[in-house]
Amino acid sequence: LENSSMSSRPQLYDFHGVAMTHCVTDNREKVKNFQARPDDILIATYPKAGQSNNMYKQVLQFLSPERQSFIPIFERVPFLEIAISTVVPADIDGFLTKISCLTLKSHFTLKIMVYVARNAKDNMVSFYHFDHMNMVQPEPGEWSSYFQRFLDGQMLYGSWYDHVGNWWNKTKTYPKLHYMFYEDIAEDTEREIDKLCSFLRLSPSAEDKKTIVELVHFDNMKNDDMANCSKLNFLDFKISPFLRKGKVGDWKNHFTVAQNEVFNEDYKSKMKDPTLRFRTEI
């Protein structure tokens, strides 16, 4: 992406019933044709589900013998569907065949191994700030209109409710899917790393586990140029950092009392599965 083109923002359009942009859908054929191998690991989230996404990428790469900490995270863990050369190599097919154990990230609803979910209120706020600084996503507009678009599901990748709900439903029939919550990670990172390692049948040493916990601490990732995406030229860090706060409950600094009441009523009507529970504070 050339800097001269950063002034123009893409528009959302309907792609089989889900709001998308061309930089995502233009790579769809390669995504459809992608053949995962038995030891491939894919990580999925709704956009801006928190630094947990980066945390998992760091954990998996640390535990991989091919890890290279001097390579930016978006190159070590390619974004499967996005059609931007600085995020996914142009020769994606050739790139994939050169890696013995591949870790990919995606926001598409696919049957993959690790899904990370974040409560809708904080997810909305994080997505809002990200859309401001991400020049390849649509203009977010004012907070009040953004708030309503989120409730209506008129967001890139569609409805938060559909995304987190569809993945949760898959856990009931698909044993290779590990569903994690951002709030749990914030509350006890070491515990959640233990769960992830157990799921992947990994047994890191006590020393390695300590290193991982330090590595994925929010402040450490925020200051690590190999993890904070500072080398992506379509992100405007003068507006906002990619890793902004990493807090549970930041929504309280954005939601008005009236918006919180509207959101809570909307949530009650749309969150039908009582077994899927999110915390908006810890």
Length of the chain: 282
Which one from 16, 22, 107, 132 is the annotated catalytic residue?
107
Which residue, 147, 179, 148, 183, is CA-closest to 273?
Answer: 179
Query: Quick check: is 107 catalytic?
Result: yes
107: how many CB neighbours lie within 10 A of its CB?
Answer: 22
Please give the structure tokens belonging to residue 170: 């898959």
Active site residues: 107
